[in-house]
Chains A and B, each alone.
Chain A
Amino acid sequence: MIKLENVSKKFGTGAFGVSDVSFSIEKGEFVFLVGSTGSGKTTLLRLLIRDILPTEGNIMVNDWDVVKLPKDKLSKLRKHVGFVFQDLKLLMDRTVLENVVLPLEVSGSNQQEAVLIVDDILKQVGLMEHKEKFPAQLSGGELQRVAIARSLVLSPEILLADEPTGNLDQATSWEIVKILSDINKKGTTIIMATHNMDIIKSLKKRILHIEKGKILKDEKKPLSAQEEKDEEKKESHKHKENKESEEIQEKEKK
């Protein structure tokens, strides 16, 4: 569970990153954080792992009071909250495997176990064949998947993804979103900052609109399981109809 109460972050320059933001997110939710560049999306996500401290307000992540969390407990919080950074923050002198295994190393798990977990995750994001490559040898979409894989190896309860489809083409973006929603189905809470409207519209998840540091709109439209099924049926039906009409058209042409 994530809960923000009247959170403001004023930067040294006097500009507000976010101001008076309150919302809460339940366990297992998938939330889009939508807003234009500079609207405060990244600031909000950074506040959640205390990369920065708020000027005012309270932040709860699971049972942690993020603002009052002592420094030596910080690493614990960050092990439970995965983060896919906008600039990925991969270590360029380490291979894909070494990058992905890093959180496990950091948390002191044993090496054999770590290798198994990493293999599993790499399969999940489709990077097995690139395991021994360095970041410089990968494409944008592959790098993004490395970053996602790294954020997942500790099986975090919460995953924060900061524009994970930022620089990617439509097809690759969909691959990434597919990975994220698969993870979400397994129970991980996901907050994804983005301004890719196609994805937002078609996924039908809760949307937090943020502009100039303020939450403008909180569109809660969680579909029930039945609704979700109906939705899927409709989609596939439409797809079928389209296909059929295309086939008829083609036949007519012939």
Chain B
Amino acid sequence: MKYFNTAWKNIRRSPYQALAAILIMTLTFLAVSFFAFLLFGSSEIINYFESKPQVTAFFRNEAKQDEINALENQLSSTGKTSSIKFVSKQDALKIYKEQNKNDPLLLDLVTADVLPSSFEISTQKIEDLSVISDMLKKSSLVSDVIYQKDVVSALTAWTGAIRKIGIGLVALLSLVSIFIMATIIGIKISRKKEDIEIMRLIGATNWYIRWPFLFEGVLYGLVGAFVGWLIATVTLLYFTPFLESFLKGIPVLPAAPASLLLLLGIEVLFAIFLGVLSSFLAVFRYLK
């Protein structure tokens, strides 16, 4: 507590340096938070698609109902399907209206004629999707087959890219913040050189002198982490309604408070690590 008081006094007496240190930490943790949201969200989306092995086949307008029924029988006779749901043009319109109920402009433009009728077919196993989709593609009734393996692989590729960019950016920002903090703490140590010398002469141990500087680094890290997390979380909550309608029924949002707190916990640990590391750099360079 005594070391914490000294650290706090140091911060109060040089507010601009403290502000610089906290801002760079905030920036780092803002990036950490946003990339965590992106990674978590995209992996949830992938999970959602993977847990629902589904093929959607859209019928041509000229497809007749008995032909469609025949196709249905043919599909279920393979024994690989778990459910086949026929979505008529009217049903499609209903779904469309439900998804866009907040956007009257989009509702006005669309009638049941524009929307194709379709089959939503689930299979017992994810491997069976390709067999079913091949059967559907051969049928003359079907205009288009959406096969979720494509969606999943596209998403996986995107997630991979986001992860790489995120890790790169966070690593770079962490490095920058470590160096900036080490420099700031170094400046403070140099400015207090005389005081430190006096303390040594009256019997202060090295650790007595080092602790306040270590605490100072940790404090910058903690404040930065909390502010960064807060900004990111508030932004996420603000955009949640918009993102929810964009994701159309994929249950990713709203984010669970528990996961947000978990993220904060991880960031706090990371902040302590960054703070201690940068203070250590400064302390061992300037306080031998």
Contact = CB atoms under 8 A, between A and B. Distances in A.
A106 B198 contact: no
B202 A103 contact: yes
Nearest to A88: B198
A230 B200 CA distance: 44
Contacts of B206: 72
B135 to A, nearest CB: 79
Nearest to A106: B204
B195 interface: yes
Contact of A76 (B197, B202, B203, B208): B203
A150 B202 contact: yes
Contact of A91 (B198, B200, B203): B198
Most buried by A among B195, B197, B203, B208: B203
A77 B206 CA distance: 14
A75 B203 contact: yes
A150 B198 CA distance: 12
A78 B203 CA distance: 5
A103 B203 contact: yes
A107 interface: yes
A105 interface: yes
B105 interface: no
Nearest to B209: A106
B138 interface: no
A154 B202 CA distance: 10
A155 to B, nearest CB: 13
Contacts of A83: 201-202
A132 interface: no
Q: Is the interface of A mostly helix, strand, loop or mixed?
A: helix
A102 B204 CA distance: 9
A49 interface: yes
A75 B204 CA distance: 6
Contacts of A72: 205-206
**Max chain B C-beta neighbours (<10 A), residue from A85, A106, A151:** A106
B248 interface: no
Given A105-B2, A106-B208, A78 B202 contact: yes
Interface in B194-230: 195, 197-206, 208
Interface in A78-113: 78-79, 83, 85, 89-91, 102-103, 105-107
A126 B215 CA distance: 37
B212 to A, nearest CB: 12
A49 B195 contact: no
A51 B202 CA distance: 10
Contacts of B205: 72, 75, 106
B107 to A, nearest CB: 70
15 contacts: A49-B201, A75-B203, A78-B202, A79-B203, A83-B201, A83-B202, A89-B197, A89-B198, A89-B201, A90-B198, A102-B199, A102-B202, A106-B199, A107-B203, A150-B202
Interface of B: 2, 195, 197-206, 208
Question: Shortest 3 CB-CB distances between A and B: which pairs?
Answer: A78-B203, A79-B203, A106-B204
